[in-house]
Amino acid sequence: MAGLEAVLAEEAEQLNLTNIQPITRGITCEGNWAQLYKCNYLMRTAIRVLVPLAEFTIKTQDEYYEALRTINWSHYFTNQKTTFAIGATVFSEIFTNSQFATYRCKDAIVDQLMDKHGYRPNVNLEKPHLVFQVHLSGEKLSVLIDSSGKSLHLRNYKERAYKAPLNEVMAAGIIKLSGWDGTQDFYDPMCGSGTFTTEALMVAANLPAGQFIERFSFQNWPDYHPEIWQSVKESAQAYIKSPEGNLYASDINDYAVRDLKKNLQKHKFRDLVNIKKADFLESTGKKNGVVFLNPPYDKRIKMRNITNFYRDIADKLKRDWQGSEAWVISGNAQAMKNFGLKPTQKHTLDNGGISSKLYKFELYGGSKKAKYQSNPRSRD
């Protein structure tokens, strides 16, 4: 996701992948089968793990079709029941419409299998065995196979989504950006259905990001290695541990609290998460914790006076959370201008189509108070 390339690269390093290069909204890297499976199972900030099949330079739609016909599709289509889907990303004058690029790729696959083996494989958009991606940028055509299948943010634990939930990959990415590793106390005081909290529990306990994903697309490939997959899963189990720091989640709304409990239901260590209904503005505050705040932006959740609300949040942090660190994600830049605290870090993120910023606030107390600077617009 935009803004999370650096944390994704860090995750790739931790898996010992090589030749890691950042690209727009992603990275490229090299690894073996076990690492490919680990990328899907363990990476918290990957959306799809794609394996390149071929690259071409093409100038026309006919050349596009002919290039795609040269790929040996029979390698993947091992029987007549194998279904497939294609995704296309096009930034090129050759096609004005990515849908048409998808159709022509489908034609190339179907025509080749018809000519070689006398059958037409079926497209299945819901649950395909194989997923291919074509990327056309100018004259450069890349063809890739998707080893994930569905977007990896669909971790299969979110049974309920209260208003304006964060994307799981975004929440995990913010936690990674903050450097929180589970040893300090964690607070999610506007938890909604609890994406931060659930991802934090998974980070703190080393629970695999893909622990509830039933099947990855690589399991449908002819060169799938079940024994390697089994050993990847077993070695991940050995790292699971009880979280060191305490986790606290709360929300002003009863339904949000209920939804978080539901979403945690399948997770190990769920009983270690302290959940309650509470108004953040009435909270007693804590020292030495890391607070993750995802307040309403006045977009999907409307507020009566968003500027005052944000000021009240900042005042609360200043007054009662000294000694802690706060990370605030908001898609309301105007309201953040009047927040009344000066961030020590800012990151631009694309939060479900809402351009958002993540702000870090260091809430110094005591002798460090001099360092603690107020925004000139602050009421203090």
Which is closer to ligand SAM, CB of 192 or CB of 208? 192
Q: Does 195 bind ligand SAM (CB under 6 A)?
A: yes
Q: Is 279 in the site for ligand SAM (CB under 6 A)?
A: yes
Can you list the positions of beta strands (E) in the chain?
18-23, 26-30, 50-57, 84-91, 130-137, 140-146, 185-188, 247-251, 273-277, 289-293, 325-330, 345-351, 354-362
**Least distance (Å) between residue 41 CB and ligand SAM:** 23
Using the rule CB under 6 A, is 193 a contact of ligand SAM? Answer: yes
User: Which of these segments, 126-134, 179-187, 249-257, 345-353, binds ligand SAM (CB under 6 A)?
Assistant: 249-257
Residue 166 touching ligand SAM (CB under 6 A): yes
Size of the site for ligand SAM (CB under 6 A): 24
- Cβ at position 251, least distance to ligand SAM in Å: 5
| Burial track 170-188 (b if 16+ CB lie within 10 A, e otherwise) | bbbbbbbbbebebebbbbb
The DSSP call for residue 74 is G
Binding residue for ligand SAM (CB under 6 A) from 165, 182, 243, 340?
A: 165
First to last CA, the chain: 37
Asked whether position 253 contacts ligand SAM by CB under 6 A, the answer is yes
Tell me whether residue 285 or residue 296 sits nearer to ligand SAM (CB atom).
296
Which residue is at the shortest CB distance from ligand SAM? 192
In terms of DSSP H, where are the helices of 156-225?
168-178, 195-204
Burial of 325 (0-12, 13-18, 19+ CB in 10 A): buried
**Contact range with ligand SAM by CB under 6 A, out of 27-35, 124-132, 160-168, 370-378:** 160-168
12 burial (CB, 10 Å; 0-12 / 13-18 / 19+) is buried
Residues forming contacts to ligand SAM in the complex (CB under 6 A) are: 162-166, 189-196, 251-253, 256, 279-281, 294-296, 301
